[in-house]
Amino acid sequence: MVTETTRRTLDARGLGALRAGFTGRLVTAEHADYDRRRAVWNGAIDRRPRLIARCADPADVIRTIAFARDQDLEIAVRSGGHSFPGLSVVDDGVVVDLSMMKDVTVDTRARTVRVQAGVLLGELDRATQQHGMAVPTGAVSHTGVAGLTLGGGIGWLMRKYGLTIDRLRAVDLVTADGRRLVASRSRNAELFWGLRGGGGNFGVVTSFTFDLRPVGPTVLSGLVLWPLEEAEVVARAYRAWCAGQPDDLTSALLFRHAPDADDIPEEVRGRPVVGVIGCWSGPIGAGERAWARIRAHGTPLVDLTQPRAFVDHQSMLDGSYPHGIWVHTRACNVAELSDGVIATAVEHVGRMQSPRSSVIAWQLGGAVARPGPDAGAFGGRDAGFVFNITGITAGAEGFAHERAWVRRFGDALAAHETGVYVNFLMEEGDDRVRAAYGSATHRRLRALKRVHDPDNVFHLNQNIAPSE
């Protein structure tokens, strides 16, 4: 047990033994970079772990897990640090930090890429785009490949190539009892199923191998903004437009304030807007024709639709979601952009106060909805749209208002909810985790958890408890 006296300082002998074999870096409160290393992307999270173990290889991961278990300390696992609720850092416990593990190895003949757990989306894209290929991932390039993949991975290529997990071939992982396992369709197949959506519940992943698909290097990158007063009519026009589009297009409806960015005219910056954003990854000429109809709708304030390098499209939203902003989010899957959904959205987006907050409704369908027979644990493939309502402030000022706004909006949209994407959850309780998977998948995940982590060592996540 952890006693009050041991709680304040780490056991020196145990730490010394850990240090002896450790090839990465151990960071404690005495180190100058402690505050930098404990900070996560969501600035509203302020936790003080006793140890941050910056692992250099799987052996470091094994040693750290053994040390933490021996000392009866909670374990948080960190790769890109973008957990919305900040589950990758823990007060008074140990952080298994994989952010130093940065290898990316492209095999052009096999058309695969092996990625260590500390790699960020932009680092993966830059390596694969050198060969005209990509893995479908997410929309902000400083997000971690690891956490995003383990929850599913939605992004700009999903309607064409599926979720990130749909291109996953194999995973290297360290279990709670310190074993190294490979999971793939042919090895530990049930574990491989669970890792495709089940999050960090089953172990610490040290590397992923993905299949690559041809992409770009140029895509037709679309962004059109209209005044927020036109939200309802633009949402209806978007609904009609996106319904008929082929899988080369992944798009979303957007509500926010126009960003203070160079390519936005000065008079538009800071204005509340409704927008359509998307990526056409087929031939550019066909993309121009596909985008023409929505671009011609009404009188846009801004139309930045143009051919762009895929890597640039992938980082287009980076500036809107920098490290350290205070964030509270709520997500919800809906079957369609019905009149009721649109009316609810229009009512609530008008109440967002912070110029940084945003609401994005991603269109699913296409390859996401055509999984193979053994597609993994991700729930909600049949959803029409994924809503992500995100209240954002620069710091504490105004945060309580934005959080309350997110909650009220989420509560109102709940009448239309068909499920929720697990990677967009805050700490919302067991019922919401079940809602993310559905009860049959949740039961199967629970059985898998009993096999691989019966003591729930890895519980700082969207937790699948081993028993009721």
Site for ligand FAD in 78-97 (CB under 6 A): 78-84, 87-88
Give the residue with the Cβ less far from ligand FAD, 204 or 276: 204
Long-range (24+ apart) CB contacts under 8 A made by 175-178 are 175/202, 175/203, 175/452, 175/453, 176/65, 176/69, 176/203, 176/452, 176/453, 176/455, 176/457, 176/458, 178/62, 178/65, 178/66
**Residue 433 near residue 395, CB atoms below 8 Å:** no
Of 43, 93, 153, 194, which one interacts with ligand FAD (CB under 6 A)?
153
CA distance 215 to 467: 43
What is the crossing angle of helices 339-349 and 231-243, to 10°? 140
Given 15, 18, 77, 331, the residue binding ligand FAD (CB under 6 A): 77
Q: Shortest Cβ distance from residue 173 to ligand FAD (Å)?
A: 7
Q: Is residue 183 close enough to count as binding ligand FAD by CB under 6 A?
A: no
In our burial notation (b when 16+ CB lie closer than 10 A, e otherwise), range 310-341 reads: bbebbbbbeebbeeebbbbbbbbbbeebeeeb
Stretch that binds ligand FAD, among 30-38, 73-81, 433-441, 446-454 (CB under 6 A): 73-81
Residue among 279 and 290 whose Cβ is closer to ligand FAD: 279
> Least separation, in Å, of the C-beta of 316 and ligand FAD?
11
- Regarding 255 and contact with ligand FAD (CB under 6 A), the answer is no
Q: Which of residues 291-330 bind ligand FAD (CB under 6 A)?
A: 321
Stretch that binds ligand FAD, among 27-35, 149-157, 393-401, 448-456 (CB under 6 A): 149-157
Q: Output the smallest distance, CB 343 to ligand FAD, in A.
A: 26
Please say whether the beta carbons of 101 and 214 come within 8 A: no
Q: Does 376 bind ligand FAD (CB under 6 A)?
A: no
User: What minimum distance in Å lies between the beta carbon of 75 and ligand FAD?
Assistant: 10
Least distance CB 358 / ligand FAD (angstroms) = 10
Going across the sheet that includes 51-54, the strands are 25-27, 51-54, 94-97, 75-78
Query: HSE (CB half, 13 Å, CA atoms) of 190?
Result: 10
419 contributes a contact to ligand FAD by CB under 6 A:
no
393 forms part of the interface with ligand FAD (CB under 6 A): no
Q: Which of 27, 53, 140, 273 binds ligand FAD (CB under 6 A)?
A: 140
Q: Which residue lies nearer to ligand FAD by CB, 98 or 367?
A: 98
Buried b (16+ CB within 10 A) or exposed e, 138-166: bbbbbbbbbbbbbbbbbbbbbbbbbbbbb
- List, in sequence order, the alpha helices (H) in 253-398: 284-295, 310-314, 339-349
Which residues form the interface with ligand FAD (CB under 6 A)?
41, 77-84, 87-88, 98, 117, 138-140, 143-144, 146-148, 150-151, 153-155, 199-200, 204-205, 321, 423, 460-461
